[in-house]
Amino acid sequence: MSKKRYTQSNEKPAIYSKKVYAKNDAQSLYSKLIKENTITFGLGPAGTGKTYIAVALAIDAFINGDVDKILLTRPIVAVEDIGYLPGDMHEKINPYIMPLFDALESQLGITKTGELIAAKKIEVLPLAYMRGRTLDNCFIIADEMQNTTPEQMKMLLTRIGYESKMVITGDLAQSDLKISKNGLQWATERLKGKIPDIAILEFTRGEIVRNPIIGEMLKYLEN
């Protein structure tokens, strides 16, 4: 059983429409932190709902008129050079950002997701495409950020503009980079407790909601 962290009420609050609800106290607290802070870091193993909850809140903020658009991004760490893969750039990168599309489509539906992307109200793109941009009135979700360098993380954090919100997710135990300290670890260590409008929440294996067997396997698969 996971440790109880947030006990505002026994009823689990609706996060988006009638479809997405917090499934445990950690998700309730995560939702609260995202709503109350400009930047929120969600750390922890796969299956805890870090990205899914963030997407639900982004959709909610967009529907309520709190932001003008939603932007989802993740770094591409390819085993092979994507230049050798068939297709144009979008076809090359789609496999790497498909989990973000999955989260959107499961909540909005395929048709509505496509319409909002076509209208440029939702952007899904690799982290490298963020350089040089200033993102005002935007809900930004940066996924799998354990696969960034400190320089990439600094670049991302400095993209946030006025009236924007940013959620950064990742699992410090699952970095694909062969460096001593990845960008997610670097940023959370430096920012923790330093700025009132930045929150950091770490999920545990006991808070995995995708399938309980994941938490059991991770006991033996991680160091």
Could you tell me the residue range of the domain that residue 205 belongs to?
20-221
Among residues 59, 87, 90, 88, the alpha carbon closest in space to that of 72 is found at 59
* 38 within some domain: yes
pLDDT of residue 135: 94
pLDDT of residue 35: 95
Query: pLDDT, tens digit, for every residue of 35-62?
Result: 999 999 999 988 888 998 999 999 999 9
Query: pLDDT, tens digit, for every residue of 60-81?
Result: 999 899 999 999 999 986 544 4
* 124 within some domain: yes
Report the SS3 class of residue 65. coil
* 114 within some domain: yes
Of residues 130 and 22, more confidence is placed in 130
In whole angstroms, give the CA distance from residue 208 to residue 204: 7
Mean pLDDT, the chain, integer: 82
* 5 within some domain: no
Handedness of CA 142, 36, 22, 207 (dihedral sign): positive
Q: How many domains is the chain built from? A: 1
Query: pLDDT, tens digit, for every residue of 94-110?
Result: 777 787 888 888 888 88
Per cent of the chain over pLDDT 70 is 79
CA dihedral 75, 81, 83, 88 (to 10 degrees): -50
pLDDT of residue 216: 74
* 45 within some domain: yes
pLDDT of 132 > 70? The answer is yes
Of residues 176 and 22, more confidence is placed in 176
* 78 within some domain: yes
* 6 within some domain: no
Per cent of the chain over pLDDT 90 is 48
pLDDT of 10 > 70? The answer is no
* 10 within some domain: no
Letter string b/e over residues 61-81, b meaning 16 or more CB atoms within 10 A of that residue's CB: bbeeeebebbbbbbbbeeeee
Residue 83 — pLDDT band, cuts 50, 70, 90? low
CATH code, domain with 163: 3.40.50.300
User: pTM score, two decimals?
Assistant: 0.81
pLDDT of residue 179: 81
- Chain-centroid distance of CA 44 in Å reads 11
Q: Counting every residue, how long is the chain?
A: 223
pLDDT of residue 2: 38
Query: pLDDT, tens digit, for every residue of 137-180?
Result: 999 999 999 999 999 999 999 999 999 999 999 999 888 888 88
